[in-house]
Amino acid sequence: MGLSTHVLDTMHGGPAAGMQVQLFALEGDKVTLLKSLTLNHDGRTDAPLFDNHSLKVGTYRLSFDVAGYFKAKGVQLPEPNFLNVVHLDFGVAHADQHYHVPLLVSPWSYSTYRGS
């Protein structure tokens, strides 16, 4: 079923188009970069992060460049920023299921959940 993500900008009330995101695999202390990408006009990736056949059981990290995104939108942020890069570590226990990891974000808060 794969892995996908979606980011909504709650400050401006729309998708976080242009946000930079990285996907990592985590194994103990080892962190391996798998993909770097930019979210499209809908705040999503153009293709799944993993398709039905490539998602494996394991632990992963999605890193969202929140400060870079809001700075690019012209938002005046304090130095240092309250949020810089938001890291979400999550586990995939069932590779035959779809894992959707949405992020709702402003310069001062974020929320996530396992979506469908």
Annotated binding site for substrate: which residue ranges? Answer: 6, 44, 113
Distances from the Cα of 74 to the Cαs of 10, 51, 63, in angstroms?
Answer: 15, 35, 21
> d(Cα 106, Cα 23) in Å, to the nearest integer?
21
Annotated binding site: 6, 44, 113
Non-local (6+) Cβ contacts of 6 within 8 A are 15, 42, 43, 44, 100, 102, 103, 115
Q: How far apart are CA 67 and CA 63, in angstroms?
A: 12
